[in-house]
A = this chain, B = another copy of it.
Amino acid sequence: MTKVGAIASIESLPHGSLLLRKSAEKAVLAPALAAYEAFVKAVSALEIKDDASVIQLVGAFNAYRRAAIPIFEAGKNVPQENLRSTMMEELYAWLFKDIFELLEIDQPLNFKLGKSTSSYVSLTFAPHNFASIFNDPNPRIAKKDQDFAIGATFQLTIQPEGGESPIKSGILIPIVAIECKTYLAKNHLDMCASTAASIKTAAPYCMYVVSAEFIKMDKGVFPELTDISEIFVLCRAKNGDRKKRRDAGLPPHDIHADLICDLFNRVIGHLRSIWWDPDSALKSGRVIQRPF
């Protein structure tokens, strides 16, 4: 299996590596692999363009989750753990695979979908000394990791005027960023709030979403004071409930399809909007038009 819509290749997905695993892990992972193959087969055939197809996708994903999570959560600090924490990253890659067909735009060469390690935050300069600044201004190109991003990639070049040795760095300008947490606790929220603030300074039209399956927070937190566009609690449950079910050998909570539909529609609405354009501002009577 290779490319599906905007997905570079199935092997590049968080759970695509299941298809490549052999030997020692195979026995433990076999039921998860079988469930993943069934999931991939089902959703590769879908065109994700409306609520009905999103609901089908979430249904197939919940089936995969029910088979795989008990296996992924059985061990600690083993490769399976990493697979557990990337469940949602896997879903989002499938959720947005058909955006170019839906928006009727050709997919550009510098389009990127998936995990990002180079989301642009800021460019500053800390030269070593006067003599060296002219050839090497020591740029600090700050970048953030993101669990899932939709964005455009660029090469940033800083070239001394009249000189010959440019400094180059690849950056992603995120349009949608999704931070994925199995459960959201206060310290995670603080980190997400800090990332949201720096991302929105650099790219104010980036939609920044926190996707949590569960939450573990009390009244002493203030998500409304952050730059986070929305926090979804996809299982509509507390982390304590997750553990109770797990310890009782019960199947995990399902992801609620209506929340994924809402996220999908908000993202598509964002991708269809005009963000910043003085002429449109005159027509619409609104200048800033923030994502939401």
Chain A positions within 8 Å of B, measured between CB atoms, are 103, 105, 108-111, 120, 122-131, 133-135, 137-138, 152-163, 166, 170, 173, 175, 201-205, 270-277
Contact = CB atoms under 8 A, between A and B. Distances in A.
Give the number of times this chain occurs in the complex, counting copies: 2
Given A130-B175, A133-B173, A277-B129, A154 B159 contact: yes
Contacts of A202: 123-125
Contact of A161 (B109, B160, B201): B109
A161 B157 contact: no
Given A155-B161, A156-B159, 18 more contacts: A105-B130, A108-B134, A109-B160, A109-B161, A110-B161, A122-B123, A123-B123, A126-B203, A127-B276, A128-B275, A129-B275, A133-B173, A133-B175, A137-B173, A153-B161, A155-B159, A156-B156, A156-B158
Most interface-central of A133, A137, A272 (chain B CB within 10 A): A133
Given A129-B275, A160-B109, A277-B128, A122 B120 contact: no
Contact of A205 (B127, B157, B161, B201): B127
A163 B109 contact: yes
Most interface-central of A111, A152, A201, A270 (chain B CB within 10 A): A152
A1 to B, nearest CB: 24
Given A126-B275, A203-B124, A205-B127, A154 B162 contact: no
B130 A272 contact: yes
A124 B157 contact: no
A270 B130 CA distance: 8
Given A175-B130, A275-B129, A137 B124 contact: no
Given A109-B161, A170-B161, A275 B156 contact: no
A127 B275 contact: yes
B273 A129 contact: yes
